[in-house]
Amino acid sequence: MQGTRFAPDRGLTTRMVGTMFLIGLLYVVFVGVLVALLRGAWPFVLVVAGGLFVAQFWFSDRIAAFGMGAREVSPQEAPELHGAVDRLCALADMPKPRVAIADSDVPNAFATGRDQRNALVCATTGLLRRLEPEELEGVLAHELSHVAHRDVAVMTIASFLGVLAGIITRIGLWGGLRRVGGRDANTALIMVLVPLVSAVVYAISFLLTRMLSRYRELSADRAGALLTGRPSALASALTKVTGQIARIPTRDLRQAEPFNAFYFAPAVSRDSLSRLLSSHPTLEQRLDQLGRLSTQLGRP
């Protein structure tokens, strides 16, 4: 927790360590299999794998901000948003992250960055327009708890393997696998095995990150509500955001959907998603937890 006043979560820590161990093991096996299959191309595989990992870890905040259309704003440009972040950071005793706004009608927020010193918290214009000040602070406390728990960095690393599997497959299939071993039976076997291995690795890493993502959202709800002392404000924001998202055009939701794992609430499409594949717990689960917290704190 790096000395912040956010409530620690041993369950989240245990899950993050377990996920990182399994992802790391899977990563080693994946690269080893690729090296064995591609033989003469193994230096290329290692360079690509290592380079992509370093790039995604060190520049994840910029990549995510760019992908979600976030624009860093000054206190003069967004005084209310900065004021809320200032109050929460003082309350949590943590460094203030960079503050950004994304020009999107989808009401949402996210935090990114490998640590507290490189963190960025962003709210969409749709969120700022729809929420009351107390509700906005609840959402921002939720996002800041992700930074304090460092689960943003863990999710970035954990999701890297799936990204790598897809990229390696495309590079291998379209960029030169036919030159490895000549046009013979071995080449044909490689052409089949590499996509197969990549698909298996992607599926496993996807499920691992989804399980971690659902738990970390519940953890962030709990930590954010305890920090502000107003679980009902966060519950109100959740209900409002979820209801408003359902009214957003499907085209806009699909543009935001690839970043669901980082959002406060999932920008789901009209199609129903199974719980196994969802990046977030259900609204009912989140509201039930906040209701219990309200009872414990003696707050309405």
Task: Say what the pLDDT of residue 72 is.
Answer: 93
Is residue 82 part of an annotated ligand binding site? no
Query: 72: annotated binding-site residue?
Result: no
Residue with token string 């599997």: 165
The token pair that represents 92 in the structure block: 């949590």
- Specify burial of residue 52 (Cβ count, 10 A radius: 0-12, 13-18, 19+): middle
List per-block mean pLDDT (blocks of 10 residues) for the chain, which spans 300 residues: 77 88 79 70 70 71 74 94 96 94 90 84 93 95 93 77 63 52 59 71 80 92 94 94 72 58 64 65 92 83
pLDDT at 270: 44
Q: How far apart are CA 138 and CA 112, in angstroms?
A: 17
The pLDDT value recorded for residue 60 is 67
**Catalytic residue at 143?**
yes
pLDDT at residue number 207: 83
Tokens of 28: 């080693």
80, 143, 257, 284: the active-site residue: 143
**What are the CA-CA distances from residue 83 to residues 65, 87, 125, 131, 243 (Å)?**
21, 6, 16, 15, 26
Domain ranges of the chain: 10-163+195-298
Residue 217 annotated as part of some ligand binding site: yes
- At residue 271, the pLDDT reads 47
Is the dihedral angle over the CA atoms 274, 107, 148, 297 positive or is it negative?
A: negative
Q: Answer for the pair 234, 139: CB distance below 8 angstroms, yes or no.
A: yes
Q: What count of residues does the chain have?
A: 300
